[in-house]
């Protein structure tokens, strides 16, 4: 990096930041948003230690993940991706309320 021109180095740093932002742990996301564990804990009604434990878990309930993201000011959406169709946003999965009755999403395969 030292041997690169300043413009080239800046482009590389910007792209590196973009790639890092595409995939983060909950802890990295919270820190990137400049939010403390104490603030998230107050929003969730738990202790700071509880937030620390949530951030270290590799397997969370969707409801816990949703509430944690909301405590940071965001919204959680889940997307199913298949190689033979466009991504599908799943509804009624991470929400408190079930999806409206009679509403179903039909997945179809491309004819080919």
On whether residue 101 sits in a domain, the answer given is no
On whether residue 62 sits in a domain, the answer given is yes
The pLDDT tens digits for 9-46 are 888 888 777 766 678 889 988 998 999 999 999 999 99
Report the distance separating Cα 39 and Cα 11, nearest Å: 34
Tell me the pTM.
Answer: 0.64
Report the distance separating Cα 81 and Cα 83, nearest Å: 7
* Predicted local distance difference test score (pLDDT) of residue 20: 65
Looking at the structure of the chain, the number of domains it has is 1
Domain range spanning residue 56? 6-73
Place 3 in a pLDDT band, splitting at 50, 70 and 90: confident
Report the distance separating Cα 82 and Cα 32, nearest Å: 30
On whether residue 108 sits in a domain, the answer given is no
Calculate what percentage of the chain has a pLDDT beyond 70.
79
On whether residue 29 sits in a domain, the answer given is yes
Look over the chain and give the mean of its residue pLDDT values, rounded to a whole number: 82
For residues 66 and 94, the answer to whether their CB atoms sit within 8 Å is yes
CATH of the domain at 48: 1.10.260
């Amino acid at each position: 990096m030292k041997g690169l021109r300043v413009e080239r180095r800046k482009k590389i740093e910007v792209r590196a930041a973009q790639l890092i932002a595409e995939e983060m742990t909950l802890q990295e996301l919270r820190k990137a948003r400049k939010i403390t564990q104490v603030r998230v804990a107050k929003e969730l009604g738990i202790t700071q230690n509880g937030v620390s434990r949530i951030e270290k878990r590799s397997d969370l309930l969707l409801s816990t993940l949703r509430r944690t993201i909301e405590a940071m000011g965001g919204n959680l959406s889940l997307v199913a991706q298949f190689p033979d169709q466009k991504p599908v946003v799943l509804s009624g999965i991470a929400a408190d309320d079930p999806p409206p009755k009679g509403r179903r999403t039909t997945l179809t395969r491309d004819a080919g």
